[in-house]
Amino acid sequence: MLHLFHGLVGVSEGMDPRLKAHFQSLAHEQNPELLLVACGDSRFEQVLGAQPGQVFVVRCVGNIIAPADQSGHSVGDVSEASAIEYGLEVLGIRDIAVCGHSNCGAMAALLRGRQQLHQSAPNLASWLAHAEPSLERLACSKLSFPAGLAEADRLSQENVLLQLEHVASFQPVKRRAAEVRLHALWFDIGQAMMHLYEADQARFVPLDEAEVLRLLTPGAGDPPTTR
């Protein structure tokens, strides 16, 4: 643990002068392009390769967003709901992504049955309820999965799409339905490969150079990332 603190001490001292100047330019404002909802998994650091100031991040167990009720309030976590409101209403973000990943402990717990956690981790057991419909979706899934993809990973991909629907249940997103773009991402840790959901193919495709070029091609349109 101490070496992490040593690293923190060296953050400013050993920083590239260009990055230090970048931080100075950000001292009084931020204009992030993306609101990212990601799992808190420790292996999920730095996968976006983004610069400071580009991504507003919400991290939680299982990249879960508790949905909004009829009144527009979160049924499970006002912190996440606040991040969505702040991101859209104050920061002006118009792109939102939910990113899941392989070998997710939250998905494994769901498969085992979250009821097993009631004694040892009651909050976690309650939290996972917001992802539980993913189990039913997996049972009759319309997604196209790669051969051999583990059950927890298939569940994780279903869960990403479910959580994007939860994001869309909030008023700031509904009000801007015509301008807000929702993206489903999934990161394969072992392959170090990000995937993007393509609705017309009903599958997550590797986000390699060819796919990025295709997305940037005029006429390709916005990534059709939601069902």
Query: Which residue ranges make up the site for Zn ion (CB under 5 A)?
Result: 39, 41, 104
Nearer residue to Zn ion within complex by CB, 31 or 191? 191
Least separation in angstroms between residue 78's CB and Zn ion is 22
Phi, psi of 27 (to 5 degrees): -60, -30
> Are the beta carbons of 163 and 227 closer than 8 angstroms?
no
Nearer residue to Zn ion within complex by CB, 41 or 95? 41
Nearer residue to Zn ion within complex by CB, 64 or 173? 64
Nearer residue to Zn ion within complex by CB, 189 or 205? 189
Least separation in angstroms between residue 47's CB and Zn ion is 12
Least separation in angstroms between residue 38's CB and Zn ion is 8
Nearer residue to Zn ion within complex by CB, 180 or 186? 186
Least separation in angstroms between residue 9's CB and Zn ion is 30
Nearer residue to Zn ion within complex by CB, 39 or 131? 39
7, 83, 193 from 65: Cα distances, Å: 32, 11, 23
Residue type, 191: Q
Least separation in angstroms between residue 103's CB and Zn ion is 8
Least separation in angstroms between residue 88's CB and Zn ion is 25
